[in-house]
A and B are shown apart, each in its own frame.
Chain A
């Protein structure tokens, strides 16, 4: 598999660029591994550090990738060094997290046995605990590699280095989608290879072949390269796949031209009926031009009356919170997210945070939001909120549905699973290419790209939660005479709720991460500000916009986690 993949890379003529990228990864990953490993071990050794380390890791990971680049840009100027450092910073947290998690999960009895054997602390750590946590740590290594690769490619935006990310960006700007696709697939090949290779390390190793065979192959390869060193053509000169790129371009043009009506109506349909109302409210989105009629005050009145009725009905049935949510949702739909009055947002977020995680979370949320307000980025933040909110909502509905389907039918899962695997190994950047090809630059393309990237955790966690219902509970429900649907509604869905909420949480974080990348193809929110700041090396704007983004993600993250933990506690599960 590895040979075929790399063979394709060679044939595509992107060999030198690809190797440059790998070189960057090869330098940044060890840095990240050592730093992350040390942080994880330290946090494990000194419980006092755990909380601040956790908070720091959260910020490092929720902070948008571009935001790292601006300050580094000022310190080190343009060039590969910045990408190197940025990717090391970005790749360290998953390592640290997994090391910490693995060490904490080592069975207490195992640790005690090590203590009673008379090992020093160092011996305990290196001879017992770390080996015992190996599987989890290898998961960390895998994530670290993937993160580094992804960041190195993003770092190409600041250019100055002839790597594969730069190639994608360049061809994309020139609207040579065939070539962009080709370069993109090189990235995909790399990431799949790296993922699979390091992923198998994480599983328990069975010796398939003798190690000597591997060394033999390696030696043979080295010997052949040495022997034919001078005879080998320059790797960059292979351009066998260029016709493919050209053909792809041609086919694409034909396709978009042929289906222009369908594509436009699809795009406009979603824009007019879903995205615009959310953004600027029913009030302004419904025009004769879009919906065929004019939104009037009377309509607003009836709309609110209906929402109020529904809310009252829910409240009477004991679902007060749900009723309030309906009322608030109606309000948001009427005015649109981007034009919400700021006091309302502050109060609403505070209230929601209070319900989710108590007074501290409420206070934190309000203070952080207020800091966005005073930073002057409020309107942009709301725009970002609207776009990510819309995509998260779409992900929740679509992903939840697909997850449900996969949980019910193993057949469906067999189809969905490889797609999920693929979507997760592709670096963010590459998502932009296909949507851009079909839907051109604009908010809608960004919307699609975000969904494509952020839907995966929703699907996975929904299925995981539904499938993981304990056997005995299912048997108990069956023995009670429940039908399949009753079992899903009464037992499996409530039991899966915390897991599904965690999936939603991941989806939110993914959506925010993608939002910044999507700025490359035209969004109007914070992502754009960050991108602009990068271009102008405007550290102030970059940092404040990045911080605003991180704040939004952090608040959403904490709130959903709060809800998930509350549900878990209600189920009597360990939190």
Chain B
């Protein structure tokens, strides 16, 4: 991650309200009520739909930010506000420091051509264009010459593993291949902010996993800032640097995958991580204690701070005393009680 001061994306008090005269109704409600939930209440009473309520977050450059929630929770609406496919009713959205809510039409087109890329759930491919033409379309609208755009399209087509299918039509491809086309199209302009709206949800589980892996490879190569939408907690945990959980238009929790799994803020967030094998997603660092105040026993099973709980537990199966956690270079960074390791996996049971 770069140390740049301006976040790649920042959202402040973003609201998206649907319904007649949403603009003025929201303005009035905001002036009358203090908390977001009161405002939403007032809007709902008027028959309006507050699809996104007071969203606040920042995405750092190069970060993979996942927004997760059930269908109807407002996550697709939120991503459309950020990519400005919808005009946010209220709030400030900055991309690389530039306010896009008040950006002119021409500037938005410019931004979309140069900076932003988007992948859609149902691919959004143009059925009357070949794979190559689909991928090259963002270049075509910029008036780039056919030869140049073909060459550039070829590059990304190879990147997503579709070489040899340039002249096929979308209808001749499988679902997974179609989404590869969608991904290639969003990458062809070398975008620096990449939006993916449930890109793998319409695919079979096997294909989904394969594409997730390839997606991570591509991300490792390109290091773009990513906003990724999903309703699948496993997908979120696998991909995300940070996760935001949405419910009924509100962001209820933002945190690292381990945070989300180990410290869910409420029942809704807990419900999500219920079926997750926590030991695979949380690491030792999230449960260890600081070495200053805690003594530890003679055994040293060789725990590292970035080990998963499962791996750590396997090493101290028959130990009862607290054990040290060390860095790669061997220096002491923490202390952990094997009983806590087991307990961390049982978060669920404790609360029930």
Query: In the complex, which residue of chain A has the Cβ closest to the Cβ of B117?
Result: A479
Residue of A nearest to B170 (CB): A572
Complex CA distance for A473 and B80, rounded to whole angstroms: 14
| Binary per-residue interface labels of chain B (182-209) against chain A in the complex, 1 for a CB within 8 Å, 0 otherwise | 1001100100000100000000000000
Bits for B122-147, please: 1 = Cβ < 8 Å to A, else 0. 11111110000000011011100000
Q: Does any Cβ of A come within 8 Å of B215's Cβ? A: no
CB-CB under 8 A from A497, the residues of chain B are 128
Instruction: Give the distance to chain B from A318, nearest Cβ to Cβ, in Å.
Output: 12
A570 at the interface (CB under 8 A from B): yes
- Taking CB atoms, residues of chain A closer than 8 Å to B118 are 475-476, 479
B32 to chain A, nearest CB (A): 33
Residues of the A chain whose Cβ atoms lie less than 8 Å from the Cβ of B111 = 481
Using known A-B contacts A482-B141, A490-B140, A572-B170, determine if residue A476 contacts B113 with beta carbons closer than 8 Å: no
What residues of A have a CB within 8 angstroms of the CB of B125 in the complex?
A: 473, 476
Contacting pair A475 B122 (CB below 8 A): no
Using A481-B113, A490-B137 as known contacts, say yes or no to A571 and B120 having CB atoms under 8 A apart. Answer: no
List which A314-352 residues lie within 8 A (CB) of chain B: none
A494 within 8 A of B: yes
A472 within 8 A of B: yes
Tell me whether B116 is interfacial, beta carbon within 8 Å.
yes
B112 interface contact, C-beta 8 A: yes
B28 at the A interface (CB under 8 A): no
Instruction: Name the residue of chain A whose CB is nearest to the CB of B171.
Output: A572
Known: A480-B185, A481-B113. A475 touches B141 (CB 8 A): no
Which residues of A lie under 8 Å from residue B122 when comparing CB positions? 472
Q: Cβ of B138: which chain A residues have Cβ within 8 Å of it? A: 480-481
Whether B141 lies near A472 (C-beta < 8 A) is no
Contact present for B123 and A478 (CB under 8 Å): no
Q: With contacts A480-B141, A481-B142 known, is A473 near B126, CB below 8 A?
A: yes
B124 and A473 contacting across the interface, CB-CB below 8 Å: yes
CB distance from B275 to the nearest CB of A (A): 30
Cβ of A573 under 8 Å from chain B: yes
B186 and A494 contacting across the interface, CB-CB below 8 Å: no
Known contacts: A490-B137, A490-B140. The answer to whether A476 contacts B128 by CB under 8 A is no
CA distance A444 to B216 in the complex (A): 69
- Contact residues of A between 471 and 504, Cβ < 8 Å to B: 472-473, 475-483, 486, 490-491, 494-495, 497
Give complex CA distance A483, B112 in Å: 11
A480 touching B128, Cβ below 8 Å: no
Q: Looking across the interface, which residue of chain A has its beta carbon closest to that of B85?
A: A475
The answer to whether B98 has its CB under 8 Å from any CB of chain A is: no
| Whole-angstrom distance between the Cβ of A31 and the nearest chain B Cβ | 45
Chain B min CB distance to A486 (Å): 5
**Among the interface residues B117, B123, B138, B169, which one has the most CB atoms of the partner chain A within 10 A?**
B138
Q: In the complex, what's the smallest C-beta–C-beta distance from A488 to chain B, in angstroms?
A: 12
Q: Is the interface of B mostly helix, strand, loop or mixed?
A: mixed
Contact, CB under 8 Å: A572 / B124 = no
Inter-chain contact A475/B110, CB cutoff 8 Å: no
How many angstroms from the CA of A483 to the CA of B143 in the assembled complex? 12
Interface status of B277 (Cβ within 8 A of chain A): no
Q: Give the one of A475, A481, A495, A570 with max B CB within 10 A.
A: A481
Q: How far is the CB of A482 from chain B (nearest CB, A)?
A: 5
Docked Cα-Cα span, A319 to B114, in Å, equals 33
Inside 8 A of A486's CB, which chain B residues have their CB?
141
- Bitwise interface map of A from 105 to 126 toward B, beta carbon under 8 Å scored 1, else 0: 0000000000000000000000
Is the beta-carbon distance between A494 and B109 smaller than 8 angstroms? no
B137 and A480 within 8 A (CB): yes
Within 8 A of A (CB), among B60-113: 80, 83, 85, 109-113
How many angstroms between the C-alpha atoms of A573 and B118 in the bound complex?
Answer: 24
Return chain B residues, CB-CB under 8 Å to A573.
127
Residues of B within 8 A of A472 (CB): 120-124
Considering the complex, which residues of chain A in the window 434-483 have a beta carbon less than 8 Å from any beta carbon of chain B?
Answer: 470, 472-473, 475-483
Residues of A within 8 A of B110 (CB): 481
> Bound complex: CA of A479 vs CA of B186, how far in Å?
8
CB-based nearest A residue for B188 = A480
Mark contacts of A172-185 with chain B using CB atoms, 8 A cut-off: 1 yes-contact digit, 0 otherwise. 00000000000000
Determine whether the beta carbon of A572 is less than 8 Å from that of B85.
no
Q: How far is the CA of A491 from the CA of B133 in the complex (A)?
A: 12
Task: Please name all residues of chain A whose beta carbon is closer than 8 Å to the beta carbon of B123 when the two chains form the complex.
Answer: 472
B121 contacts across to A, CB distance below 8 A? 472
Measured in the bound complex, the distance between the Cα atoms of B125 and A571 in whole Å is 11
Q: Compute how far the CA of A478 lies from the CA of B186 in the bound complex, rounded to whole angstroms.
A: 12
Q: Would you call B85 and A479 a contact (CB within 8 A)?
A: yes
CA of A472 to CA of B122, assembled, Å: 7
> When the two chains form their complex, are residues B128 and A494 in contact, meaning their CB atoms are under 8 A apart?
yes
Given A475-B118, A475-B124: A481 touches B83 (CB 8 Å cut-off): no
Which residues of the partner chain B approach A495 to less than 8 Å between Cβ atoms?
126-128
Interface centre among A477, A479, A571 (most CB of B within 10 A): A479
Closest to A497 in B: B128
Q: Which residues of B contact A490 (CB under 8 A)?
A: 126, 137, 140-141
CA distance A472 to B182 in the complex (A): 12
Q: How far is the CA of A497 from the CA of B170 in the complex (A)?
A: 18
Whether the pair A479, B116 counts as a contact (CB closer than 8 A) is: yes
Instruction: Return chain B residues, CB-CB under 8 Å to A481.
Output: 109-114, 138, 141-142, 189
Nearest residue (CB) in A for B138 is A480
CA distance A486 to B112 in the complex (A): 14
The distance in angstroms between the C-alpha atoms of A495 and B85, with both chains bound, is 21
How many Å lie between the Cα of A483 and that of B105 in the bound state? 9
Return chain A residues, CB-CB under 8 Å to B195: 479
In the assembled complex, the Cα of A483 lies from the Cα of B137 at a distance in Å of 12
CB distance from A500 to the nearest CB of B (A): 13
A479 touches B141 (CB 8 A): no
State the Cβ distance, B186 to closest chain A Cβ, in Å.
7
Smallest beta-carbon distance A467→chain B, Å:
17
Q: Whole-angstrom distance between the alpha carbons of A480 and B169 in the complex? A: 19
Contact A476 B127 (CB under 8 A): no
How many whole Å from B323's CB to the nearest CB in chain A?
Answer: 51
Q: Which residues of A contact B80 (CB under 8 A)?
A: 475
The docked-state distance in angstroms from the alpha carbon of A309 to that of B118 is 44
CB distance from B9 to the nearest CB of A (A): 15
CA distance A470 to B128 in the complex (A): 13
Whether B112 contacts A480 by the Cβ 8 Å rule is yes
Across-interface contacts of B189 in A (CB, < 8 A):
481
A479 and B85 alpha carbons, distance in the complex (Å): 8
Bound state CA distance, A481 and B144, in angstroms? 13
Q: How far is the CB of A281 from chain B (nearest CB, A)?
A: 37
B169 touches A572 (CB 8 A): yes
Alpha-carbon distance A571/B120, docked complex (angstroms):
19
Q: How far apart sit A497 and B126, CA to CA, in the bound complex (Å)? A: 13
Look across to chain A and name the residue whose beta carbon is closest to the beta carbon of B123.
A472
Give the nearest-CB partner of B128 in chain A: A494
B128 CB contacts on chain A under 8 angstroms: 494-495, 497, 570-571
**Interface 0/1 of A419-436, CB less than 8 Å to B:** 000000000000000000
- 29 residue pairs from A and B, CB less than 8 Å apart: A472-B124, A473-B125, A473-B126, A475-B80, A475-B85, A476-B118, A476-B124, A476-B182, A478-B112, A479-B83, A479-B85, A479-B112, A479-B117, A479-B186, A480-B113, A481-B109, A481-B110, A481-B111, A481-B189, A482-B109, A482-B137, A490-B126, A490-B137, A495-B128, A570-B127, A570-B128, A570-B169, A571-B171, A572-B170
Give residues in B with beta carbon < 8 Å to A.
80, 83, 85, 109-114, 116-118, 120-128, 137-138, 140-142, 169-171, 182, 185-186, 189, 195
- 10 smallest CB-CB distances across A and B, nearest first, come from A572-B171, A476-B124, A481-B113, A481-B112, A480-B138, A472-B124, A479-B118, A571-B127, A494-B128, A482-B141
For the A-B complex with A472-B124, A480-B112, A490-B126 known, give 16 more contacts whose Cβ atoms are closer than 8 Å: A472-B120, A472-B123, A475-B120, A476-B118, A477-B137, A478-B85, A479-B83, A480-B141, A481-B109, A482-B141, A483-B141, A490-B140, A495-B128, A572-B127, A572-B170, A572-B171
Residues of A within 8 A of B (CB): 470, 472-473, 475-483, 486, 490-491, 494-495, 497, 570-573
